Amino acid sequence: MKKLLLIISLILLPVSLGMGQAFFLSKPNLDEPDNTYTGLASNGVTQIVAQGDSILWFATGGGLSKTMDFGETFVSYYNDTDSMARGGISAITVLDSIIWVAAVFDSTTVVGEYQTGGGLSASKDSGRTWTYVPQPVDSSSASFEIWDGDTVRFLPITTPVQNTTWDISVTSKYVYIASWSGGVRRSSDFGATWERIPLPSDDEDVIECGEPITYEINPRDPQEGNHNHKGFSVLAYDDKVWVGTAGGINLGIVESDSCIRWRKYTAQNSAISGDFVVALARQVWNGKETIWAATLPAEGAGEYRAVSKTTDCGLTWSTTLIGERAYNFAFHDSVVYVCTESGLFKSVEGEHWAIHNPMEDMDKNEYIFSHDVYSAYVDTREGLPYLWVGTADGMAKTLDDGINWDIFRTSFPTDVSEIYAYPNPFSPTHHNILHSDGHVRVQYHLDSLSTSATVRLEIYDFAMDQVYKGEAHYVSALGDHSEVWNGRNNEGKLVANGTYFCKITRRKNQKEKSYWTKLILIK
């Protein structure tokens, strides 16, 4: 289970910076009143949500980003101020003008490096001002909570280490959070205080109001604790609270302010595919509600990766996309999008699926080098359904169902006299893998004097023998661009480990100018 959590955490929070075209990283200026800086915080985009008439929020491995003009410009929040949560954004949700985010970072302890809750930040005015909320922890003596008039035992969680919030849901009265060791909690006073919520144990499938809870709410591994007390996803609306854990899907019916009646669904007592539930989503179309869940195998025999769903509030379950590792969901009317490690799947009715081709921005000669699609959102506020997609290698936006894409990535800017390669060192067997090939980008800049130039990339080994010569092509737009190499020579064979030199040649009006940078290649 711990190994599985680590793998999922690394996938969900790609904190490596990544570089690219279109939007530049700049040093945050803390003199700015809103503590923002221009550009995307990271190319790893794990969630996308909309707010108001034009805001789109992006949870990234480098912090919180937003656009207020449908992608014309981006800003990001510096995440080491008194008002912002620290680390990569692990959860985000909005309700009207309210927005909540949670963050996670790695900390070093005497026994190793562990993921740590970086706290939460909340805004009541669509992100103009923020309140920081520390990661909820307990005092060592907080072993009991009054719930439904009964005294319930809880294991006190006294540290933010491994106490990481992975999901948030907001209703008109409460904000709910699902945390790994911290379990499920809610607050009715904007995070000033938190109430711990009991869930069924691994051995129990229900909690009824009016009946005592005889076991301790304890997120340790069995036999000492319960997988179902480890929160990973939460979805709250009306009188319902859905919670996904490392032990199943829990449906809660809020019967009063002091009691939630729970029923747990597992791979053993229902038809969900696995007990590790990393995402929950609600689709409502033509008066029909469907709850979608990304379900992975935990420790039970016969569990498998798939998407599980119910159309009757948990009475029956079915599975689809069997074998796929899902991350997230998006909807547009009857259309369902599922974000997976294999790419973005689409279905018009939730049963038969097609997968989008890898995203290419042909106008900018820009590509998304990632099969993993972490997030998606269909934005209809411009009058047309724009599909936004977040990956480990940037974001993309399409209006024509993936025929044409606009790609958005962060980068350090270059000027007309310099180029650079990234990642550097480069491994063609590990970096930017797409269709079994790795890719390295060589970044360069075109100014007003060199637009509409012909550009060519060449690669030379340490002896200055040419190993690769790309096709010359026209680039007409101003600004930063990149050429791509997959580590293979012109015969299609991977080159040897060593030092290589990248040459970008620009030709305009019969005049040529070349620029060089060094690249280390390690297979």
Contact 281, 329 (CB under 8 A): yes
10 DSSP assignment: H
Domain with CATH 2.60.40.4070 in the chain: 420-521
The pLDDT assigned to 30 comes to 46
Nearest CA-CA partner of 433 in 329, 339, 495, 343:
343
Extract the residue ranges of the chain whose pLDDT is less than 50. Answer: 1-31
Q: Which residue has the tokens 């100018």?
A: 513
The pLDDT assigned to 414 comes to 67
Two structure tokens written together for 310: 């119910």
d(CA 162, CA 164): 6
HEC letters along 375-444:
EEEEECCCCCCEEEEEECCEEEEECCCCCCCEEEEEECCCCCCCCEEECCCECCCCCCCECCECCEEEEE
Contact 369, 412 (CB under 8 A): no
d(CA 401, CA 79): 34
Task: Tell me the per-residue pLDDT of 23-35, one tens digit each, with 9 for 90 and over.
Answer: 333 444 444 556 8
Other Cβ atoms within 10 Å of 41 Cβ, number: 28
Q: What is the CATH number of domain 420-521?
A: 2.60.40.4070
Contact 40, 23 (CB under 8 A): yes
- The residues near 511 (Cβ < 8 Å, ≥ 6 apart) are none
Domain with CATH 2.120.10.30 in the chain: 140-323
d(CA 241, CA 247): 16
Contact 120, 85 (CB under 8 A): yes
Does this model's pTM top 0.85? My answer is yes
d(CA 421, CA 354): 35
Task: Tell me the per-residue pLDDT of 378-428, one tens digit each, with 9 for 90 and over.
Answer: 999 999 999 999 999 999 999 999 999 999 988 776 665 688 998 899 999
Asked if residue 14 has a cis previous peptide bond (ω within 30° of 0), the answer is no
The pLDDT assigned to 450 comes to 66
Task: Tell me the per-residue pLDDT of 347-381, one tens digit each, with 9 for 90 and over.
Answer: 999 999 999 998 998 777 789 999 999 999 999 99
Domain spanning 140-323: which CATH class is it, in words? mainly beta
- Exposed, middle or buried, 383 (CB in 10 Å: 0-12/13-18/19+)? exposed
Task: Give the pairing of strands 248-256 and 240-245.
Answer: antiparallel
The pLDDT assigned to 5 comes to 40
The pLDDT assigned to 389 comes to 98
- The residues near 267 (Cβ < 8 Å, ≥ 6 apart) are 248, 273, 274, 275, 295, 297, 300, 302, 303
Q: In the Cβ-directed half-sphere of 245, how many Cα atoms lie within 13 Å?
A: 31
Neighbour-count burial for 357-369, b at 16+ CB within 10 Å, e otherwise = ebbbbeebbbbbb
